[in-house]
Amino acid sequence: MAQVLELSIEQLQAGLEDNLYVSDRSLSVALFLCLRLHKPLFLEGEAGVGKTEVAKVLSNLLGRRLIRLQCYEGLDISSAVYEWNYSHQMLEIRLLEARKGSLDPGNPPDLFGRRFLLKRPLLDAIDHQEAQPPVLLIDELDRADEEFEAFLLELLSEFQVSIPEIGTIRAKDPPIVVVTSNRTREIHDALKRRCLYHWIDYPGFEKELSIVSLRCPDAAGELASQVVRFVQELRKEDLFKIPGIAETLDWVNALVALNQNSVTQEATDDTLGLLLKYQDDVELVRGDGARKILSRTAASSN
């Protein structure tokens, strides 16, 4: 961990930008403390603001393996932590039967040792074999059930996993843990208390323009500026799903691919599906809605 501990907040922020992630100082400080204090970082915010990307970029910056657990409803221990290799266990039984003719009831085979254990993401991160611990991303925890959330308490506080047949497996060198949530439901306070907390909001104009300029270098300066102003105004509309940074980047890349040098009414109506993912939102904005937003963006740029 020496390489990590030597990084200053400024070096960390510059390193993120070198890996195409624009971070404000508050997020850089949260990441710095996550690394220094060996505490999980809990990132909360709307979908598309760049929470998942933080873990990916941190993995690249530090040269660590990224282990991602994508959460979903019904996620259980066998998918997230471990399960037993039943086919190898059956093969072991058959080999013993072939050698001895039958199994000895008084001396049953050991079928629940480590060699029959299949590691899933959480156990893989705790029981890693690398010289440098990996980055563990527990993505969209709010999609998982509360029962699974409760299971994480031991892992996030002690960096250990309890397996009844084996015992407790504790990390010799804890992974760097990033947990994300889109806040579709509230995460329990017990889990939040085990983490550093940081809220990532939609970026302001200057920050989003920096992101677009960094991630979409083929976009002319004027086009990038018009796209960001339009999206900033679009987020003020009464939409079912507000577009995130990912949608901004998709849209500017599409306009570049269409050889557009500016944001026009026609180009906007043709490409709204890159910004908006619900038909009601598309219908609300297409035509007069887009025209009004374009007028406001033109006025704000003067």
pLDDT given at position 84: 85
Burial-class residue 90 by CB neighbours within 10 Å (0-12, 13-18, 19+): exposed
Question: What's CA 301's distance to the chain center, in Å?
Answer: 34
pTM as predicted: 0.88
Q: Which two tokens stand for residue 246?
A: 């990912």
pLDDT given at position 302: 61
Average confidence score pLDDT of the chain: 90
Average pLDDT over every residue of 162-168: 87
Report d(CA 250, CA 140) in Å as an integer: 22
State pLDDT tens for residues 23-75.
Answer: 999 999 999 999 999 999 999 999 999 999 999 999 999 999 999 999 999 99
